[in-house]
Chain A
Amino acid sequence: MKLQHKNRLRTVALGALAVSGALVLTACGSDDNSGGGNGGGSGSTKAAGNIKCEGKGQLLASGSSAQKNAMDLWVKNFMAACKGIQINYKPTGSGAGIQEFLQGKTAFAGSDSALKPEEVAKSKEVVKGGQGINLPMVGGPIAIGYNVPGVDNLVLDADTLAKIFDGKIEKWNDEAIAKLNKDAKLPDLKIQPFHRSDESGTTDNFTKYLKGAADKSWPYEPAKAWKAKGGQSADGSAGVSSQVKQTSGAISYFELSYATANSIKTVKLDTGASAPVEATSDNASKAIAEAKIVGTGKDLALKLNYTTKADGAYPITLVTYEVVGDQGNKADTLPATKSFLTYIASQDGQAVLKDLGYAPLPAEIAAKVRETVAGLS
């Protein structure tokens, strides 16, 4: 008996050790990842002076996780001003968001890419007499982070990027890279390109850029799933950014906030402008200003100009949309939806984005969005 008791004690001790060890491990794990979330969730909480509250009750929305941090702050600010409205945005991913919207479960969806034609067709069944439209709301630069010892100011162009991510350029001291970086001491190191292993709007937008700006070197069609062969992969922006952080010779793409949070160096892009362009919120806004509106009617889907040569325009940019019905929205959620969308498209709403590493919409496009939101019915 005594012996058994002792054993049990020992097991308990061992168990405690294992549990605390596991806790330490998970703590490390989440430390690595959570840093990527944002620069500071608290951000600047602008006073609620300009928020108009209409409607009440609960507003359900879901979709893109890329706009999660922006949504969190918007929802916080909005609900502080409008006590009667409760907004619940679930960052389930663009695909799931659109699906839930098309099933009529949510008032609006967040999506990294505009609705496809068949999705528009389906949306007509949900919003009676209208159709689903895309409202651009948040922009953000996709930074190209790299980890090359001794190289601080790496400049690349679209063609070189495409060849690196397609495995055609294998060493950091390759001629194509050396030509763009005359002053840098490039090491004889293997390039380890990392891509996302999960399907992602970031991959979709990055490959759209590669296809748009380096058609000859990037033979694959843009998609949410990575299509090129070779290279390594990791799950989520947090996953790829932490791999870049710890792997010598690595290069990958993720939202800018992950680069700042992990202090990863980012590539300056040689777009043909007078100077190489850095990935910043301002530069992304400038690139969005070059975009064309391709949606018809009230739809404001954007087509970015990936080959822009404008000074200071950073073209690897992600624009995320809110998807709503242009008319025929449900009567009980419409007022609240309209007042929330009006707030996030307003100057106040857009101004808070910069602190989170996102790019506010250019004035002209923001004005169009506000006009469209006002006309929702």
Chain B
Amino acid sequence: MHIPDSFIPMGQAIVYWVIALPFIFMSLKWARKELDDMKVPILAALAAGIFAIQALNIPIGMGTSGHMVGAVLVSIIFGSPMAGVLVLTLVLLVQGFVFGDGGITTMGANILNMGVISGFTGYYLFVALKNKTGIKAASFVGAWIGLLISALTCAVEMSIAGTFPLVAGLATMGLYHLIIGFIGEGLITAIVITAIEKSRPDLLDSSVTNAKGVRA
């Protein structure tokens, strides 16, 4: 879902940067407040893992592929969508500047879509669901729908940019990411969260585990 430079006119690309910047600053503020010597290694390992897994495109049929985004996974582990914004910002910076994956002018839009929108929607959906469905199902649904909503937002941005027609863009992006979100985002997120909950529940933020009584 990395938007290249040519997909959004410069003026609009700047608007998305302006919207994304406060979230980037808030994520740095979160890091200042929440990170300590125990959490920094976890954050760094997660960021590296998400960069690597984003290079692994999974075929989804129809001549299309997709990869995990990871903002929801990071947000759930740290108990804040700001963690997802921070990690995705770092990953997208390296992808954009070093590998030409996603444009520099459109990086604001990419951070907004994959970091902020996917992270916030997915994390709060997870929070809303976890007491009713348990951590496994809630992380699956949160990650799946978080990715889908961010793809639909991307389609709206493409329509404002005049790149995609609105309805066709929503339908196509929606269909592809419904599938990518299910496999790449939902399943992987649920598997990783479940594995961490089983082996190292202390790594998960207490707001996540308390609901299930793991720490009680």
Real complex partners, A and B?
no
Residues of chain A whose beta carbon lies under 8 Å from any beta carbon of chain B: none
Residues of chain B whose beta carbon lies under 8 Å from any beta carbon of chain A: none
